[in-house]
Amino acid sequence: MLSSILSAACTALVIVSQSSAFVPSPSNYVTIKSSLSLSKDVESTTTTRRGFMDNAASATAVVAGASSVWMEPSPAMAYGLNKANDKLASYGLPPLANVPNGYSALAEIYGKGANRSPLLVAFGFPLDWVVTLPSQDVNGEDGTIQVGEYAKGDTATFFVVPNAGKVESILEKDKAFFTSALIAAISQKSNNVYQDFKITKMEPVTVDNGNYMLVDFKYTLLTGAGFEVERKGVSSVTSAGGGVQLLWCASIAARYKNKTEGQLRTIAQSFRCYADGLNFSADLRSAAPDFV
């Protein structure tokens, strides 16, 4: 039994070593920070059997997380709290507040393609996390806004709930509503199979003239390598423009308990999403791709 588990773990680690198609490569994008490789505090896989298994779980989690969206990598230097706040100010919006030292931030237009409705999305994230953005082509826009420490399986992903429509009082929605929204986010690709999803806490927040529901959750990810990876996270859910949007932040359960809960909660609490009353025409014109 143990030998089969270790064999599956080895398979998972091989898979993640070959998954450069899903994670930006430093050789192709030299301005992206080196956190795409194993970060400086990565645990050695040769110290203990438990360490090996933990890293195998991270490996399988990153395969699932990275494959959930297909996005265009973007240089880390393009971001920062001042730049994000300048972008928000250009739309007459309040700055991101309470973003701690050691964090960067972004303020990006989601929906630059004709196939989507534009939204202004902003949030803070750790400085050494990598940013990926939607891609643009003749068919419109694909992918989403995501940040992460991909080598560890820690990610924060923006998601628009399909066909949700405008919700006037997001804070009055019940647990079933948020369960449905988060399950849609987690399972947006058919190769992400999950079980045992559960909301553990809900906290209504009104900030910067917007309403957000902070939702703690957990679930088990079933990987193609045969692992069951427990994951925990926190999400911020709102309704801007004509739909429902959320930023869901998650990591493997062991890392959530020992390291990442504070990080993920800070990211979720900083999340802002705007659409109502904003004129995006200037940004949409500048973003229009010039295809031959």
pLDDT at 263: 98
Structure-token pair, residue 289: 């791709």
The predicted structure's pLDDT at residue 233: 98
Give CA torsion, residues 43, 46, 52, 58, to 10 deg: 40
Cα(62)–Cα(196) distance, integer angstroms = 19
Helix H or strand E encompassing 12:
helix 2-17
User: What pTM was estimated for this model as a whole?
Assistant: 0.75
> H or E stretch including 54?
helix 49-66
Between β-strands 228-238 and 210-222, what pairing exists: parallel, antiparallel or unpaired? antiparallel
The closest alpha carbon to 121, from 88, 83, 169, belongs to: 88
pLDDT of residue 91: 97
Q: How far apart are the C-alpha atoms of 145 and 246, rounded to whole Å?
A: 11
Q: How far apart are CA 39 and CA 154, in angstroms?
A: 12
Q: What confidence score (pLDDT) does residue 223 get?
A: 82
What three-state secondary structure class fits 272? strand
CATH top class, domain 72-287:
alpha beta
Reading the chain (292 residues) residue by residue, the pLDDT tens digits are 444 444 444 444 433 433 333 333 333 333 333 333 333 343 333 334 444 445 545 444 444 444 444 444 554 456 899 999 999 999 999 999 989 999 999 999 999 999 999 999 999 999 999 999 999 888 899 999 999 999 999 999 999 999 999 999 999 999 999 999 999 999 886 566 889 999 999 999 999 999 999 999 999 999 878 889 999 999 999 999 999 999 999 999 999 999 999 999 999 999 999 999 999 998 887 666 554 4
DSSP 32: S
Could you tell me what percentage of the chain is helix, strand and coil, using 3-state DSSP and rounding each to the nearest 5?
30, 30, 35
d(CA 189, CA 196): 18
Residue 47's SS3 state is coil
Q: What is the pLDDT of residue 70?
A: 42
Q: What is the phi/psi pair of residue 218, to 5°? A: -150, 155
Helices 49-66 & 2-17 angle (0-180, nearest 10):
50
What is residue 224's predicted lDDT score, i.e. its pLDDT? 79
Q: How far is 179 from 167, CA to CA, in rounded Å? A: 16
